Amino acid sequence: MLVGWVAAAPDFEKEVRPVLQQYCFSCHGPEKQKGKLRLDTLSPDLVKERSAAEHWHEVRAALNLEEMPPKEKPAPNDAERKIILAWLDDAIAKANKTARSTGGRVVMRRLNNAEYQNTMRDLFGLDVTYARDLPPDAVSPEGMRNNGSALQMSGLQFDYYLKAAREALDRVIVTGSAPEVFEHTFEKSTEERWIDGIQPSNSIGDKREFLVRIKDQYPDQGAFRIRIRAKTVIADEKSVVPYMKVYVGYRPDTLVDRELLEARVLMNQEVQVFEFVGRLENFPLPVRKQGKIPGLVISVANEGANVEIESLEFKAPLFDAWPPEHHRRILHDSELRETNEGAYGREVIARFLERAWRQPATEKVIDRFHKFFGKVRPEMPSFEDAIKESLAMALVSPSFLYILEPDSAGARKLNPYELASRLSYFLWSTMPDANLLDAARAGRLDRREGLKEQVNRMIADSRCDRFIDQFTTQWLDLEAGDRLVIDQRVYPGFRPSLKEEMRRETQHFFGELLRKNLSARNFLQSDFAMLNDRMARHYGIEGVRGRNFRRVALTGERAVRRGGLLTQASILLGTSTGVDAHLIKRGVFVRKRLLGDPPAPPPPNIPELETADEDFASLPVREQLERHLKDTACADCHRGIDPWGYALQEFDAVGKWREKVVRPKDGITLPVDARAKLPDGRVVNGIDELKAYLLEHREEQFARALVSKLLTYALGRSLKFSDQRVIDILTKDFLKNDLRLAELVESIAVSAMFQTK
């Protein structure tokens, strides 16, 4: 008996190549290269040829999913499939082992704009816009905006960062005496008439707003407070709950330039006082003594039942003391300030560097910045001006602008401060807080349980909303709907503001799964939705009141047609044309976003079929797509895309359920045809059968896709072939743990890959 004996892997030339030649080379050989993949010349040496390893991994995935060869082509029998898969498994395992033994490389990526904004705000404790003038971030091929390879730095961009740093420090560090505070209470609108048919009124509702204009006494910067004394007038239980919106801006002429300060749901019919706080720098402000209608304008609008405004009080600037707390956070009290300005400057610099750079600075580095301070001090009118310039240099250093993990000879474990930063930018999109840095300093992040404790704390924290917003937007391309114009002739009364509600529904849904540690199967099918009154009305679901999103059980009539991502309006709108559902976009979404199997891009110079047939637009969707299948340049790809989109035909462009389709060209009504033969030969009819199919036959593929996407986001880089073993382990554990979302995040955080540079 042989103990520990393992069968040798099949020989590629003698056993594997003949099978590939019989079944694969006709489509992926010298005559054709479907999907730009040629197998007859693809190197079988996965260790030396890294690009070949990537392609062989795709071949294994296609064979395991029984997607190749196509159903109409001859297929290898079980024995032949086992030969190919056995060779692939062995070759991929060897390539993975070799890749792991070659050591790591530096992961050095710049903060993206959202991370920069959050970090500056948390560093200074001042909620103003810091990233407004920065160039937009590039997007990686995976759709991520935190991918180090896509976040480049140019000389021009460096200038933008320096300008932003100086402007920020000018706001944070104040000089001179406390400014004069302006305060006034308005009991009636100051304007007699307004634009767009808006009527100034104390009773606000449809086309009626409370409007006040402060002509010249207002400050140009600083915190402000608006207090509104109001009551609601709700006629009955069916009335739409009031949604009061407060705007700040100005009226240059025939238009109004304003931005939303905050919106509140008003449920209580008694007189109440509502308080709103903001920063004047974050809103459009008029140029003093210019314009036909000068002054700062505050407007209060409302959607829903009437609201009666009794008074509005405006006060600015607000500060707890002078100088304010954000100033004292940097220029702290110290005896050195009066006795030794140079030593005090060094103390300020040392404290600032530790916070801004997310880890203690060395004495050598502190000395370098202190020397710079000493050099510029004689040229500056005050200590504050000199220290501002010194700290601005710290804010354009790579130690601030990059999530920096210094180089080493090979792979190494992150130190506690590096791990704290990686974790914080993963789950909060910002710098570590004091609790996380204390854990790093005390060595608690070195222990698995200590790290898990921090992950759970961070998920429960409101700052995790930033991760939820960023990840869902990038994973699911939730901004796709913003790039579309909704045809008001087809969808009369559709308000563009509903797009934001659609996006928030999906984000609240992800947040519910994350914070309650629910199964990610809910992404495919769920028995609840996260709705507010506006989205509930859009879907035709009754009994939901108020603008706050909450969990709504999908039982009875509600259970029909809803549940899971593929029934949410944000997804359905983003995969439409703004006029009707876009079958191909929806098919690509399922494959790319949910199954991690993006189809190859279409070949260049493929003409639109409409140009060849003027009656094309009047054909049913299925007949349009069948014409694609007659074109050999289109057929192969569309067989793997179109069926997924067919199954989603029961939803229109804005995500509403439908049983009939109106042809845009002639207005003829046709019944919805949602029958689809999927790539593996199984047939589904409509969304319910599609969701059931995904759960039964594609759960593991979906789990792997979600693991890969979350890992890509967490690491801030594209995944490589050598990462596949880690993905396999994480996916296996994810499935074993019932696809619990918070546990997946925790597993990523405690993985060796996440903790290694």
Q: What is the DSSP string of 404-463?
A: -----SS--BPPHHHHHHHHHHHHTSS---HHHHHHHHTTGGGSHHHHHHHHHHHHHSTT
Average pLDDT over residues 583-600: 93
Q: What is the pLDDT of residue 606?
A: 58
Find the helix or strand (DSSP H, E) in which 200 lies. Answer: strand 199-200
Least confident of 22-31, 209-218, 380-389, 543-552: 22-31
Distance CA 228, CA 261 (A): 13
As a whole number of angstroms, the distance between CA 184 and CA 358 comes to 43
Per-residue pLDDT tens digits for 254-272: 788 999 999 998 877 889 9
The pLDDT assigned to 6 comes to 43
Residue type, 622: R
What is the pLDDT at residue 106? 40
Q: From CA 112, how far away is CA 130, in angstroms rounded?
A: 12
pLDDT at 520: 98
If you average pLDDT over residues 667-684, what whole number do you get?
89
Sheet holding 208-214, edge to edge: 199-200, 208-214, 296-303, 243-250, 257-265
pLDDT of residue 594: 97
Q: How far is CA 394 from CA 161, 328, 350, 434, 505, in A?
A: 11, 18, 11, 20, 40
Residues 322-341 have a mean pLDDT of: 92
Question: Is pLDDT above 80 for 169?
Answer: yes
| For the ranges 230-244, 419-433, 619-633, the one whose mean pLDDT is highest | 419-433
Which tokens belong to 284? 């459009």
Mean pLDDT calculated for residue range 451-480: 97
Write down the pLDDT at residue 609. Answer: 47
Q: Please, where are the H alpha helices in 307-433? A: 325-328, 336-339, 341-356, 363-376, 383-395, 398-401, 416-427
At 219, list the tokens.
């400050």
pLDDT (average), residues 686-690: 95
- Residue 253: pLDDT band (50, 70, 90) is confident
What is the C-alpha separation between 478 and 60, in angstroms, rounded? 31
Tokens of 530: 């996260």
Banded pLDDT at 612 (limits 50, 70, 90): very low
Confirm if 34 and 27 have CB atoms less than 8 A apart.
yes
The partner residues of 685 in beta bridges, in order of sequence, read 675
Mean per-residue pLDDT for 400-414? 75
Rounded CA gap, 380 and 373, in Å? Answer: 10
For the chain, give the mean pLDDT: 87
pLDDT at residue number 142: 86
Q: What is the mean pLDDT of residues 671-687?
A: 92
pLDDT band at 104 (very low <50, low <70, confident <90, very high): very low
Query: Alpha-carbon distance 276 to 230, whole Å?
Result: 13
Which of 53, 154, 166, 153 minimizes the C-alpha distance to 120? 166
pLDDT tens profile 293-331: 889 999 999 988 789 999 999 999 999 899 999 999 999
- pLDDT at residue number 499: 96
The answer to whether residue 475 scores a pLDDT higher than 80 is yes
Question: For the segment 24-69, what is each residue's pLDDT rounded down to a tens digit?
Answer: 878 887 877 776 777 777 778 776 666 676 677 677 767 766 667 7
pTM of the model: 0.85
pLDDT given for residue 592 in this prediction: 95
For residue 18, the surrounding DSSP H or E stretch is: helix 17-23
Per cent of the chain over pLDDT 90 is 60
- Give the pLDDT mean for 376-393: 95
pLDDT score recorded for residue 731: 97
Name the H helices within 239-362. 325-328, 336-339, 341-356
51-65, 77-91, 143-157, 707-721: which has the minimum mean pLDDT? 51-65
pLDDT, position 194? 86
For the chain, what percent of residues have pLDDT higher than 70? 88
Residues 158-191 as b/e (b if ≥16 CB within 10 A, e otherwise) read eeebeebbebbbebbbbeeeeeeeeeeebeebeb
The per-residue pLDDT for 668 is 79
**pLDDT of the residue at 102:** 40
Summarize the confidence of residues 631-656 as an average pLDDT: 83
Query: What pLDDT sits at residue 636?
Result: 64
72 pLDDT higher than 50: yes
Tell me which of 385 and 757 has the higher pLDDT. Answer: 385
Under the banding of pLDDT at 50, 70 and 90, the label for residue 665 is: low
